Structure formats: structure tokens, C-alpha cells
Amino acid sequence: MRDLTEFLNSMDWWGLVGLLVSAVAALFCITFHELSHGFVAYRLGDPTAKNAGRLTLNPIRHIDPVGLLMMLVAKVGWAKPVPVDMRYFKHPKRDMAITALAGPLSNFLLAFLALAVSSLIYHFTRLGNTALVVLCFLSNLAVLSTGLGIFNLIPISPLDGSKVLFAFLPDKAYLTILRYERYVMILVIVLTMAGTFQGPLSRLILMALQGLCSLVGYPLGAVFATQDISSLIRLFS
């Protein structure tokens, strides 16, 4: 019994809270991203995502385990792609590009809202433990959502940016690329795990966060300072 008590006392409980907060924030980013794809496709005439049960806020329907892990470790990742059938679109390539853009744009909107609420808490609320946990969640949400949005704008198939770029290609070239995009995705996963995109993406994420923080009047330094809940609790306790 004493051994169990000593083990529990030695646990970094705030560290576990921080990990849980980061995981929940990642699930929010993924769910919002994929739901936006499916909703826009549905509004453009494609019921495929709806019929597959992907127009839902249930994160389990959207999780790709590897992509979620990469979001937690490398701050960039992906979800299980929402099924889209271009044959339902009146203007296939254009509507596919709009559907693809919906995901990243939704992430930038989510990051903006997270930073806006953070700014209100930062300026008008007493920073007790509860407020610090909320700020930690919102900071992780802003960083992960911005990273997910920017990563998916890379014009490499099957990332969202490729659907926008390929909309300007001839139909034959477009269909050829779509046919082989699953193999390109394997390459993207390998490159991401190897950290190939880390440097350029980090700079782009920083620039995007700087712009969003300027809009809502929130210090950029506060975003990164409030990502680690353990350090925050020790600092303010």
C-alpha cells in the first residue's frame, strides 16, 4: 500500500493533464477539419461523406492513428480523409478545390477563435489553475490547428493544397495523379516522420500565429508559454 502511495505521489499529474489537453485539442482540430470537408462537399451536391457517417462531431470517425500521433509529436499531421465523389459535382475540379480548401480554412478560423478567447482570458480573468488549464487547451488548439491547416496546404497529393493546384491541370493529368495519390501519401508520411517539413512549416506556423495574435491583441509569446501546463502551474503556484 505504501509503495502505491509513493508511486502516486511521484507521478507528474500536471504533465498527464497537459498530455490529455494536447490530445483533446488535436481531436478538435481533426474533427473540425474533416467535418468541414464533408459539409462543403455535401452543400455542393456530394452526399458521399454524409452517407458514410462522416458529417459528425464524433472524433472517432475521423481519426487516423498515425496522423494523430504526428500532430502530438511533430505538431503537424492528418486525419482519415473524408470520401468525396467528384461525379456529383456540377463543376468537378472547381468544386473539389473548394471542398479541399474548406479544411485548412476551418482550421485557421478555429485557431483565430481560440486566440480570441485566450486574449479575453489573458486580459480580463484572474489566472488561477482553471484559467491556466483553459489557456493551455486554447494555445494547443491554436498551434495544432494552424499547423494542420498549413500542412494540408502543401501542394503534394493527396494533401488539400494539391486539389487546388491540380484544378488548373488538364483532366487527363488530374485523373492520373488521383490514381496514384495513395502511393504518394506513403511518401508524405515517411517525409513527415523524418522531419523533412519541420523547419519550413515551423516558420510558416510562427508567421501565421503572429498574424492571428496581432488581430486579437494577444502576445505571441503567451501562446507558447501557455502550451506546457506543468510549467504554468509551477510558475503561478
Cα–Cα distances (Å) from 202 to 6, 76, 169, 192, 227, in that order, read 40, 9, 30, 13, 16
The DSSP code for 81 is: P
Q: Is 6 a catalytic residue?
A: no
217 vs 54: CA distance, rounded Å: 35
Mean pLDDT over residues 51-69, rounded? 87
Average pLDDT, the chain: 82
List the single range of 26-30, 48-52, 134-138, 198-202 with lowest mean pLDDT.
198-202
What does the block give as the cell for 36?
468541414
Percent of the chain with pLDDT over 90: 39
Mean pLDDT across the stretch 67-74? Answer: 75
Q: Which of 41, 50, 58, 44 is nearest to 100 (CA)?
A: 41
Specify whether the CB–CB gap between 21 and 133 falls below 8 A: yes
**Helical H segments across 11-90, by residue range:** 13-43, 48-51, 65-74
- Exactly one of 27, 33, 34, 136 is catalytic; name it: 34
pLDDT given for residue 138 in this prediction: 94
Higher pLDDT, 200 or 194: 200
**What is the rounded average pLDDT of the residues 63-77?**
76
**pTM score of the predicted model:** 0.83
Confidence band of 113 (pLDDT split at 50, 70, 90): very high
Q: Which of 131-140, 188-197, 211-220 has the lowest mean pLDDT?
A: 188-197
Name every residue whose Cβ is closer than 8 Å to that of residue 186 and which is 6 or more positions away in sequence: none
Nearby residues of 88 by Cβ (< 8 Å), 6 or more positions away: 44, 45, 46, 47, 48
Q: Give the tens place of pLDDT for each residue, 1-54.
A: 544 454 345 445 556 777 788 889 989 999 999 999 999 999 999 999 999 999
**pLDDT digits over 154-194, tens only?**
887 778 888 888 778 777 766 666 676 666 666 666 666 66
| Residue the block writes with cell 511533430 | 74
